[in-house]
Amino acid sequence: MDFDFDKGEILLVDKPYKWTSFDVVNLARNYIRKQLGIKKIKIGHTGTLDPLASGLLILCTGRMTKRIEEFKEFDKEYTGTFVLGATTASFDLEKEIDCHYPWEHITKEEILAAMANLTGSYDQLPPVYSAKKIKGKRAYDYARKDQEVIMQPKRITISAFEVQEINLPQVHFRVSCSKGTYIRALARDLGVALNTGAHLSALCRTRIGPYHLRDAYNIEDLKSALKEE
C-alpha cells in the first residue's frame, strides 16, 4: 500500500487493551518518521479510547489532521460487559469494587426494560474519573487527590442499546451512541435503573461513524505496513 503521510492519511487501528490512545499515536509517529526520514509529522487521533478498552482508534496524519474535529462528531458503537451487583468509584475496573448489592432477583425482562428506558436522549452525568475539564484541570486529577469536584450533566443520545447475552451477574451488550457518551456512566445508570449497582468490566469500540473495527490494523500489522512503506 502506498501512503502519503504529508498530504494526509487516515489510519484505522485496533487499540490493544491497556494501551493509551497516545501510545498508539506515538508508535505510528515514530514509524512514520523513520519511513520518511524526517523529524516532524503531524499526527493525532480523533477521540480518546480508555486504556481499559480496546478497539477502533482513528489516526489522522498531515493535512487530514484538519478533519479531526469533524470526525469527533461521529456517533460510535461499542460492545462490552456490565457486571451487576457491584460498584467501583470509576464505574469500571480502574478502581476496586467498593460496594456489593443484591442482583439474584433481577430478571431478563427487567434488564431489557431498563435498557429500553435508557435508549434515546437524556442528561448523563460524566464520571468523576474522566478527562472532563473542570477549571482548567482534568476531573480525574481532582478525584485522584480525593478533592471534591462537581460534574455537570451532558445531553447524550443512545440510538441502540441491545443485549447480546445474559449470564448474571454479567450482561453482554451492544450500544450505539452520540459523541460524549460515557459507557462507564451507562453502567452506573443501568444499575440505578435496576435498583442495584453495576460497573463496566470490558469494552470494545467497534465503529466510529462509517469506519469499522473490522477494517483496522492490529498493532503488528500496522508496524509491518509502515515498515514496508
Same domain for 39 and 81: no
Same domain for 51 and 97: no
* pLDDT digits 0-9 by tens, 114-127: 999 999 999 999 88
User: Which pTM was predicted?
Assistant: 0.92
Same domain for 95 and 49: no
Same domain for 82 and 68: no
Task: Identify whether 106 is part of a domain.
Answer: yes
Partners of 165 in the β-ladder: 172
In whole angstroms, give the CA distance from residue 55 to residue 201: 15
Structural domains of the chain, count: 2
* pLDDT digits 0-9 by tens, 148-182: 677 789 999 999 999 999 999 999 999 999 999 99
Annotated active-site residue 50? The verdict is: yes
Same domain for 168 and 148: yes
Domain that includes residue 36, residue range: 10-73+210-228
CATH number at residue 36: 3.30.2350.10
Same domain for 217 and 188: no
Task: Identify whether 155 is part of a domain.
Answer: yes
Helices 183-193 and 108-117 cross at an angle (nearest 10°) of: 120
Residue 51, preceding peptide bond in cis (omega within 30° of 0):
no
Same domain for 82 and 18: no
Percent share of the chain, pLDDT over 70: 90
Choose, from 50, 146, 215, 221, the residue flagged as catalytic.
Answer: 50
